[in-house]
Amino acid sequence: MENEPWVPSETDEPEVRLPAAPAPEVDEPEVRLPAAPAPEVDEPVVDPPFSDRLRADAAKAPGGWVYEVDPTFTETGPVPAERISRAWQVDSTGSPTSHCVVNPHYRPGPPGGSRRGRMQRRRLAAMSVLILGAVAIAVLLVLLVFDKPRHRSARSSATATTAAAAIRQQSASAPVPTPAISGPSRSPAPVATHRRRPKSKPTDVRLGVTATAPVWVCLEDQTAHRLINGQIMAAGEASHLYLGTAFRIFLGNSAVRLRINGRERAIPASPNPVGYRVSPRRLTALPAGSQPPCV
């Protein structure tokens, strides 16, 4: 028997589908997402308090930045980043603008400054105290030095006044002598005179020879010791200064200047050989026949 399709009949009970029961309500926990961080925005500073130093630095850096350094930082050299509080942008004319950036790494220094700065200030204070002390001591010494003559003059004037008063008192109390009417006359007391001592005569001779032209020179002392043994001296040449009781000098001509005991003595001009004896008080020409000892 062939399979016939299923046709619903009157006897077939309709399929009843009950509605599904609602699911029980469950309280779900509220999940709060963290808020997104706000973007960093450079807050403009209205009318920033620019100091004269910041304005001077801005004038030197047009188009750049100027930085505000912690006031407790007093050291010399580069400034660490943590000691810079904020920075302002500089326009092209060298003037600071209101665009300011705060340094997040800024760490303010201690109230008294850094240790190195405190040491520098202490050294400067000590040096100032030393300098002031030295100046005070110098002023006291100057006052003492210039005050002594004044005290000395005051003491001398007081002494002179006292002596004058004593003399006046003695003269007033002393009896006035009465002149003698008769009797032998008294001769005045002799006045003491001081005689000047005569100047001592020099006993030594200091002799120097200077040539004014080429000249032959022979010089010996009182013991016949040759000091210049027949030497030709050039023009302008000077000998040593010799010391003795007397000298004999022989010259090929008179082109010399003799300095005797600090004074120059002239020699009569002569183209011929001449000779002189030099003593402490005079210059004497030797006889024409005197032979020079030098060879």
Sequence ranges of the domains in the chain: 52-102, 114-152, 205-285
Q: What torsion do the CA atoms of 251, 257, 259, 264 make, to the nearest 10 degrees?
A: 130
- In tens, the pLDDT along 217-251 reads 999 998 888 889 888 999 899 988 899 889 999 88
Rounded Cα–Cα distance for residues 10 and 13 (Å): 8
150: left (phi over 0), alpha (psi -120 to 50) or beta: alpha
H or E, element range at 67: strand 65-69
Note the pLDDT of residue 105: 85
Note the pLDDT of residue 46: 41
Q: Which residue has the higher pLDDT, 154 or 267?
A: 267
Rounded Cα–Cα distance for residues 140 and 134 (Å): 10
With beta carbons less than 8 A apart as the criterion, state whether 64 and 88 touch: no
pTM over 0.75: no
In the predicted structure, residue 91 carries a pLDDT above the cut 80 = yes
- In tens, the pLDDT along 9-62 reads 445 444 445 555 566 665 665 656 555 555 554 544 444 567 888 888 889 888
